[in-house]
A and B are shown apart, each in its own frame.
Chain A
């Protein structure tokens, strides 16, 4: 609705026109892969095959897939604990992600991080962070390093609507604006910070992103159910970051179908079944993009069913991979704590690092 500073780029109208038919199919496939990965993980979570929390992304897929599809080799991603969607969108495999959920040595973090802590630095994906808002200064820092090294890239730093009231986030906004850092903060506003609705948790005038005004930072707010729209609007911010190293605060309105986490016992108490059904039936990002591609005659209903089937099969294969994978060894508990120790460097030769008697 409002973009305070105008985009220096022209790509708003052309960014989706550049997509080939294959690109569009890939985008739809990526959304299906996230949906089926998570539904499969939920099934095995409920069977007791994994521990801890499981924060599902279902309903929000167009945000991760749409925004990350705009990134190039100099661009980076960091997010919070609802991180499976972003992980798959940056190109992490279902196998390594599922194995991480199962706590296996073949997991992306060797079973040391779990659901909330997926990492893939080789894909410029810096986590997966468990503390609400804790990743937002890191996002500023990634952008700081890009600017310091004169790399014309940007960092997409995702957070939930519940994170906007954390002090670290406001400090990050101030630093990003003050130092002119090429970071784009993306509030994935699913309406609820755990069981507390937006209205009960945040003071605001017209939107959450409007808080950027106070930092003289560009901002925008839009609905995130249509992948094309997500790409259009986000690309303006990415363009701004790459070309002028200016930050942006985006608020993308979306919805999660499941509870805050699977352990959210009240998932259907703080919101009505009608509300959930309305989103599933009328605002589902997979359905909306499928419909668009059918209308464009990019693919047929049968093609979509094939994509869906393949995603389910891939997720089931990932479960098999995870189940067959070995657990980390007990000796692995003490690895990956210190770089110098892991690499047996000269620096690590002095003194004790661990105190297990």
Chain B
């Protein structure tokens, strides 16, 4: 086991998949000669050259669509978006082309593409650069959505996503790029659609994805230390496909749930989870299901206030105490 940053784990996944499959090509702004805007691809251009690491102009609709077209002929493009926020200028390509051409062709073709990059707030860059579109894209049948919370998950899920034969929207987090976790030296894959219980507990289920999982883990520590509440933390890891079974199993055990996300609440991932839990585990619930999300406004710039806008351990704890 080596201690790797989330960024290094992603890079290792890309490196290994480039070596494994000649059809894997990394395309995006500043991914090659600049070594990546967030240094995820650092060193890969030097190692693999122009064919496998391709710098593009600032032209998301163009190069995302180009990647989709190339994938229809069997390439496996990994498209880096400097921010997932920039996907909005490529929305037609992602939704109508990546998401719908398989269906509209009656299954005659498929789109083995990965679109990846950071999708998070909390970096004081204002609303345009702080979008968290996992709920938007998970709403589109045909697309898959993945959001790893740790370096271990980031590597295993990215490798799986690259090998997947459907379009995978892979959402990272700039605040996690420098965080370290233990990552095996040997190859491993993590299936899409398999949640992970990051902390076992018996009193309440905290269900989250991405960085909100870490928020929940901190909240769980404090709940145990200060309130004698033993929280279980379920990391969805992938939003679509969604591991409902792990969620329901956890809620049946704890009889309480709070769903936590860094996205906005309206039509959020949490809304989907609440619907699922009440339908499949209604009789097991001892309290209403709680939700914690970003405060429902565009991302604010002011650094101290943006911290308050995003879910933090304190807000999770307050919600848990309210339900207990």
CB–CB A342/B73 < 8 A: no
CB–CB B106/A113 < 8 A: yes
Question: Which A residues are CB-close (under 8 A) to B75?
Answer: 144-145, 148-149
Interchain Cβ contacts within 8 Å, total number: 197
Residue of B nearest to A117 (CB): B104
Question: Which B residues are CB-close (under 8 A) to A109?
Answer: 104-106, 108
Residue of B nearest to A183 (CB): B69
CB–CB A112/B65 < 8 A: no
Q: Which of B59, B68, B72 lies in contact with A175, CB distance below 8 A? A: B59
Q: CB within 8 Å of B: which of A330-357?
A: 335-340, 342-343, 345-355, 357
CB–CB A108/B106 < 8 A: yes
Q: CB within 8 Å of A: which of B267-323?
A: 272, 276, 279
What is the size category of the interface that chain A forms with chain B?
35 or more
Segment among B37-45, B90-98, B173-181, B214-222 that sits at the interface with chain A: B90-98
Contact with A along B77-94 (1 / 0, CB 8 A): 000000000000100110
CB–CB B191/A354 < 8 A: no
Q: Does B171 have its Cβ within 8 Å of any Cβ on chain A?
A: no
Q: Does A167 have its Cβ within 8 Å of any Cβ on chain B?
A: yes
CB–CB A175/B57 < 8 A: yes
CB B284 to nearest CB in A, in angstroms, measures 18
Q: Does B3 have its Cβ within 8 Å of any Cβ on chain A?
A: no
Q: CB within 8 Å of A: which of B216-245?
A: 238, 240-244
CB–CB B70/A350 < 8 A: no
Question: Which B residues are CB-close (under 8 A) to A95?
Answer: none
CB–CB A148/B25 < 8 A: yes
A350-B68 contact given A140-B62, A168-B61, CB 8 Å threshold:
no
CB–CB A141/B69 < 8 A: yes
Cα(A171)–Cα(B240), bound, Å? 30
CB–CB A127/B101 < 8 A: yes
Q: Which of A121, A149, A346, A355 lies in contact with B105, CB distance below 8 A? A: A121
CB–CB A339/B92 < 8 A: no
Q: Does B35 have its Cβ within 8 Å of any Cβ on chain A?
A: no
Q: CB within 8 Å of B: which of A250-298?
A: none
Question: Which A residues are CB-close (under 8 A) to B70?
Answer: 141-142, 144-145, 148
Q: Which of B96, B160, B192, B240 lies in contact with A134, CB distance below 8 A? A: B96
Q: Which of B66, B103, B105 lies in contact with A144, CB distance below 8 A? A: B66
Q: Does A71 have its Cβ within 8 Å of any Cβ on chain B?
A: no
CB–CB B66/A113 < 8 A: no
Contact with B along A82-125 (1 / 0, CB 8 A): 00000000000000000000000001111111000101111000
Cα(A174)–Cα(B56), bound, Å? 10
A337-B194 contact given A144-B69, A351-B241, CB 8 Å threshold:
no
CB–CB B69/A178 < 8 A: no
CB B5 to nearest CB in A, in angstroms, measures 27
Q: Does B67 have its Cβ within 8 Å of any Cβ on chain A?
A: yes
CB–CB A336/B66 < 8 A: no
Cα(A155)–Cα(B174), bound, Å? 38
Cα(A180)–Cα(B274), bound, Å? 50
CB B160 to nearest CB in A, in angstroms, measures 7
Q: Does A67 have its Cβ within 8 Å of any Cβ on chain B?
A: no
Cα(A175)–Cα(B182), bound, Å? 40
What is the size category of the interface that chain B forms with chain A?
35 or more
Q: Which of B103, B192, B240 lies in contact with A336, CB distance below 8 A? A: B103
Q: CB within 8 Å of A: which of B163-188?
A: 163-166
A131-B96 contact given A172-B62, A350-B243, CB 8 Å threshold:
yes
Cα(A349)–Cα(B243), bound, Å? 10
Cα(A357)–Cα(B275), bound, Å? 10
A140-B107 contact given A148-B25, A336-B102, A340-B166, CB 8 Å threshold:
no
Question: Which A residues are CB-close (under 8 A) to B242?
Answer: 351-352, 355
CB–CB A141/B193 < 8 A: no
CB–CB B104/A168 < 8 A: no
Q: CB within 8 Å of B: which of A301-357?
A: 335-340, 342-343, 345-355, 357
Cα(A121)–Cα(B276), bound, Å? 38
Q: CB within 8 Å of B: which of A142-200?
A: 142-146, 148-149, 167-168, 171-172, 174-175, 178
CB–CB B97/A134 < 8 A: yes
Question: Which B residues are CB-close (under 8 A) to A168?
Answer: 61-62, 65, 92-93
Residue of B nearest to A167 (CB): B61
Residue of B nearest to A328 (CB): B106
Residue of A nearest to B190 (CB): A350
Q: Which among A78, A107, A140, A349 has the greatest number of chain B C-beta atoms within 10 A?
A: A140
Residue of A nearest to B141 (CB): A337
Q: Does B63 have its Cβ within 8 Å of any Cβ on chain A?
A: yes
A113-B105 contact given A134-B93, A137-B62, A168-B65, CB 8 Å threshold:
yes
Top-6 shortest CB links A-B: A141-B69, A351-B193, A137-B65, A171-B62, A351-B241, A110-B106
Interface CB pairs A-B, < 8 A, 17: A109-B104, A109-B108, A117-B105, A119-B108, A134-B93, A137-B62, A138-B68, A141-B65, A144-B70, A145-B75, A168-B92, A171-B59, A339-B165, A347-B163, A347-B191, A348-B241, A350-B241
A contact residues vs B (CB 8 Å cutoff): 76, 78, 107-113, 117, 119-122, 126-131, 134-146, 148-149, 167-168, 171-172, 174-175, 178, 335-340, 342-343, 345-355, 357
Known: A175-B59, A355-B272. 11 other contacts (CB 8 A): A136-B65, A145-B74, A168-B61, A336-B105, A337-B142, A346-B191, A347-B164, A350-B192, A350-B241, A352-B244, A353-B193
